[in-house]
Amino acid sequence: MKSKNATIAFLAIMILISSNSCLDISHFVIITDQPPDAIQLDPFDLESVEIVGDSITLHVTYSGGCREHYFSLYMSPAAFLESYPVQANLYLRHNSNGDACEALINDDLTFNLRPIAELHKTAYGKYDEIILNVYEYKSNSKMSGSYVPE
């Protein structure tokens, strides 16, 4: 039942977001049940994580320089890990578009965490602290931070 409610809440958020043409939904965290191996495509190094308000900024490095790279951030599974505070696992998808160049690129990627806050409110009836675990590429290593939605 929680999964169905979470899906309904997520769809409602996406409809609300898409009705405002000024917002770019590609920079919102995507909630999914896809396994991490299906989410993570191309390598990157996670250097640091910073959470401010409803935003998370990931400082990453990766090789490239000849083609445009695309990034998206996923929460998987689409449910919280039961602890106090609850936890959410986040995985970065890096699509290098087949860029074979080897320049070392440093980038700050910022994503909106609001879909996670709304999922929490749907599941628990209120906003509360959430520990976000951001995983390295194809690894069990992670960086964690506290997110307190308002």
Q: What is the pLDDT of residues 51-74, one digit of tens each?
A: 999 999 999 999 999 999 999 999
Contacts of 150 (CB under 8 A, 6+ apart): 53, 54, 127
Query: How much is the pTM?
Result: 0.84
pLDDT of residue 150: 84
Task: Give the CA angle between residues 72, 57, 12 to the nearest 5°.
Answer: 55
For residue 60, the one-letter residue type is: V
pLDDT of residue 15: 43
Ranges of the chain whose pLDDT falls below 70: 1-26
pLDDT of residue 5: 52
pLDDT of residue 87: 98
Return the number of other C-beta atoms located less than 10 Å from residue 62's C-beta: 20
CATH of the domain at 51: 2.60.40.2370
> DSSP label at 83?
S
| Structural domain of 8 | 2-147
Indicate the number of domains in the chain: 1
Alpha-carbon distances, residue 67 vs 24, 39, 70, 98, 101 (angstroms):
21, 21, 10, 8, 8
pLDDT of residue 115: 98
State phi, psi for 20 to the nearest 5 degrees: -105, 100
